[in-house]
Structure 1
Amino acid sequence: MTQRSEQLVLDYLSEVALMLHGRASARERTAYLTTLRSRIEARRAAAGRDEETVRRILLGLGTPEDLVERDFGGRDLDLEDDEMIPPKPRHADRPPPPWRGGPSHGLLSLLEGPGQTETSVRGRARTVGGLRGLGLVVRHHGPEAAALGLLLLTVPWGWNLAFVWVLAAALIVLSRVWTARDKWVGVGLPLLGCAIAMALWPGEAKFIDRYIQESLPATGVIGLGLASLVSVFLLYPRVLRSARAEERSAGTPG
């Protein structure tokens, strides 16, 4: 067991505990974290305790947000029962993103995703900007960054670059960062947008093959590009959180 791999587990459990706030009582929260720790330790005992193995184990469990949503989805405590509400962690006091009523810092704040927060580095507070977030994604998750870039290339449909979506879809499917649900979003949403746009084509064609040939370049690529843009905004926050976790673990002394 290395100190770095153990720190990865502790960071993961800390994030799960934060997500449990307001969804479980203090007793349930402690029991759930104990059970989760046992599950992780059982997998470590079977697969190994090195840092890379621990990362794979945690990725297999899913993000803390997905894990709590899966086990406690839709549940909320009675806010009038003060004894049931666990104390709010200090690190939960962070400004919400702009789409949840928090301060807006322009377009880069949208790209930054829900993980944006003010962090303290050696006693000095600083705001992690959007460009730094992009740099972390490129550094730690190059294939995923390339997939997002290729998706963006499909947006200007007038450039006839819709074919690069196939490359982006392949990178998304092969990703070890995005979950199965994320992959369905990244691949299925653009296809659905393309199909809907083709169905809205105002022209006429007697045969289905002729209809596809004419509606795809006319309206299909537009739906593909717009849906790909939506996919980028949905997939980017998750890969950004994963890149930040990689950066924290890399900065932890071994």
Structure 2
Amino acid sequence: MTQRSEQLVLDYLSEVGLVLHGRLTARERTAYLADLRARIDARRAALPGGGPEAVRGILLSLGTPRDLVEREITGRNLDIEDEELIPPKPRHADRPPPPWRGGPSGGLRGLLEGPGSTEMRLEGRAPRETGMLRGLVLCLRHHPAELVALALLLISVPWGWGLSFVWVLGAAFVLLSRVWGVRDKWIAVLAPLLACLAGMALWTGEADFVDQYVQRSLAEYGVIGLGTASLFSVAYLAPKASRSARAAERRRASA
């Protein structure tokens, strides 16, 4: 059989296989297609030449793939126990029940990690590294200096002269970090400074000298802007440090 003749037969068998899908099991489809191929080859061998025209005539005599299947398969008993014909069990059927229905309880860690962590642990996969507690633990392990910087920024949030100087230490830790990029550092440091200046500009009191104006406006309004923007800096930097710590943990686990 020439290459063109072989391609005609293969195309026809492929179309028949598509029509058979869902009507026969995989085992039955394989057996039927093998029998059909044998019949085509036997009829081709009985014809002289066996070129593409002869093969095309044999296929036309069989009819279209759909007609052939309807003619030869209709009424045939199917093996309904074959797993291919049984609808697959939906994924949620394997989901463990919640703790209040007798399922496993992950305690506080399960609540922090999220609803998908218990299911993935039962399936043998690593739990999703989500949750605030998990991120703090990984930051403490891989990026302790960045965690100290975030803590110092938080300490400076209470408005008042007593703790505002702590912000300077936190900003220094941020600037020396190797985890946050240059853009992140500028945002985290400049935002509180600009907010502090904006708060000082809103002060409506009176002062005889510049140093008195700076001192009074900073004490009354500047520290408010500084503390508020420090919260923004922590909220901006913390997720980045957490993602970096998780990536370091994955590299450590795969090493």
Q: TM-score scaled by structure 2? A: 0.51
Q: Alignment length, in residue pairs?
A: 141
- Retained in 1: the 8 A contact 2:161–2:223? no
**Partner residue, 1:187:** 189
**Partner residue, 1:131:** 133
Residue pairs, 1:109-128, within 5 angstroms: 120=120, 122-123=124-125, 125=127, 128=130
Q: Which moved more, 1:183-192 or 1:156-165?
A: 156-165
Distance in 2 between the 1:173 and 1:233 partners? 17
**Partner residue, 1:41:** none
- Retained in 2: the 8 A contact 1:154–1:161? yes
Q: CA deviation at 1:160?
A: 1.8
**Partner residue, 1:7:** none
**Partner residue, 2:245:** 243
Distance in 1 between the 2:216 and 2:247 partners? 46
* Structure 2: tracts of 5 or more residues without a match: 1-111
- Retained in 2: the 8 A contact 1:162–1:221? yes
**Partner residue, 2:225:** 223
- Retained in 1: the 8 A contact 2:196–2:222? yes
Gap change, CA 1:241 and 1:127, over 3 Å in 2: closer
**Bigger radius of gyration among the two:** 2
Residue pairs, 1:57-76, within 5 angstroms: none
**Partner residue, 1:151:** 153
Letter matched to residue 130 of structure 1: M
Distance in 2 between the 1:153 and 1:206 partners? 33
Letter matched to residue 243 of structure 2: R
- Retained in 1: the 8 A contact 2:156–2:164? yes
Gap change, CA 1:237 and 1:170, over 3 Å in 2: same
Q: CA deviation at 1:126?
A: 5.0
Distance in 1 between the 2:243 and 2:221 partners? 35
**Partner residue, 1:160:** 162
Identity %: 56
Q: Deviations over 1:128-180 (max 9, x none)?
A: 22111111111110111000000001111147201001100110110000000
**Partner residue, 2:142:** 140
Gap change, CA 1:139 and 1:223, over 3 Å in 2: same
* Structure 1: tracts of 5 or more residues without a match: 1-110
- Higher relative CO (Cα under 8 Å, sequence separation at least 6) belongs to 1
Q: Counterpart of 1:156 in 2: which secondary structure?
A: coil
- Retained in 2: the 8 A contact 1:118–1:128? no
RMSD, aligned α-carbons: 2.5
Gap change, CA 1:126 and 1:243, over 3 Å in 2: closer
Gap change, CA 1:124 and 1:238, over 3 Å in 2: closer
**Partner residue, 1:211:** 213
Letter matched to residue 233 of structure 1: A
**Partner residue, 2:88:** none
**Partner residue, 1:232:** 234
Q: Which moved more, 1:156-165 or 1:177-186?
A: 156-165
Q: CA deviation at 1:207?
A: 2.7
